[in-house]
Amino acid sequence: MLKGSVIHCGVGLSEGALHKLREQLESRGNGFQEDSDLLGLVLCKKIVEQYRGSLTVESDGPTLGTTISFKMRMTSNLNDTQSLIEENKFAGDS
C-alpha cells in the first residue's frame, strides 16, 4: 500500500467549502469540464482509483491550510498493473 499527503499551508477551507469540494469531486469523478478548477484533483482521483485506492481532502478551517491524502494499492506484477489499466481506461470513459 502506498500512502502520501500534500499539505498546503494556505487559506484552508471552511467546513461548508470542504463539503462542497467533496461533493464536486464525487459528481465529477466520471468526467470533467476543461475549465474546471477541480481538473487536477479529478485527474489525481482517477489515477488513485485505478490502483483501487482513495483520495481524501481535509482542512481544519479557514487560515489553517488543506491536506490532500491518498492511499493506493501498488503491484509488483506487470500483469496485475496491465489488468488494472484495462479495467479502468482513462481515455474515452464510457
Q: If pLDDT is split at 50, 70 and 90, which confidence band does 23 have? A: confident
| Cβ-Cβ contacts under 8 Å for 26 (sequence gap 6 or more) | none
Domain boundaries, the chain: 2-87
Model pTM? 0.63
Higher pLDDT, 44 or 37: 44
7's CB contacts (< 8 A; 6+ apart) are: 65, 66, 67
Place of cell 494556505: 10
Classify domain 2-87 by CATH number. Answer: 3.30.565.10
